[in-house]
Amino acid sequence: MKSPRIRLYQSTCRDGDLRFNTQRALHAIAESAGKTDLLVFPETYLQGFPTTGNIGELAIAISGAVISSLRHAACQAGISIVIGFAELDGGRFFNTALLIDESGEICLKYRKSHLYLSDQGVFEPGDEFPVCEWHGIHVGILICFDIEFPEVARMLALHGADLIVVPDGNMDFSASVHRQVIPVRALENQLHIVMANRVGQGDRYAFGGESQAADPFGVCLAIAGPDDEEVLDVVLDMGANDRARSALNYLQLARIQLSGVMSVPEVLGKSVPDDRITKSAR
């Protein structure tokens, strides 16, 4: 698919109301039939933002009825979706997003690897960066705070991603961060990035909207407003990836190589031994 149609669903949701949010998602999927190839929802859209007090009640298993209903809805509508939710897996909780294709198959599962302050103590971090093939396009997912770290977007690029999809839950007080950083991540990795953010007031936070799509040249292709619910439709020219890399391929020229598993350098957060300082000064 050289020119996929992407629909970014910038929406409110109710924190802690799984049933209401799921019904809204099912309605949005049905309404998008024939109008898009991929419908993208915000971060943890199905439950809103859980807390340490209610995560045990709200988290759902991928094998359960809610995800099954979404898979069926995607199949009925003939579209693919990316949706975020609080995942239950053997007593552990993750901030997760799935790519479900138009046949109802789960093509990709990603667990948020960089936990924001409000995630900590609620979720465990993921540590894998999968990429799947979707209609001839290699797709990866990052979730909200992940996009603020250049290493993880580069990880997906090195794994062959042509498109990064970002379910977002960025608050209004920091909305400018993602508005600025998403075109930069697209430019430095020479790929497309699309982001669907939550909007409106939640139980603890107000959310900043500004869902957007950026191309491999760092150009913002479309952006939603900061305050209102909005459906943002954009068509991606996937040939732009090759055009951007043909002139100057950052991935080939970069001298820093990343492995497929995250690791933290041992010097971070620790004192550097005196002999290391001495050797480096020589």
Catalytic (active-site) positions: 43, 112, 144
d(CA 229, CA 231): 7
Q: Which parts of the chain fold into alpha helices (H)?
A: 18-31, 55-58, 65-77, 150-158, 175-189, 239-247, 250-253, 274-281
SS3 234: strand
The amino acid at 223? I
d(CA 258, CA 280): 23
Strand (E) or helix (H) holding 230? strand 230-235
Compute CA distances 146 → 74, 112, 149, 245, 271, whole Å. 26, 7, 6, 24, 27
Cα Rg of the chain, angstroms? 19
Sorted by sequence, the CB contacts under 8 Å of residue 167 that are 6+ apart come out as 40, 41, 42, 43, 44, 45, 82, 83, 84, 97, 141, 143, 144, 195, 196
- Kind of pairing between the strands at 206-208 and 220-223: unpaired
Angular region, 242: left φ>0, alpha ψ -120 to 50, beta rest: alpha
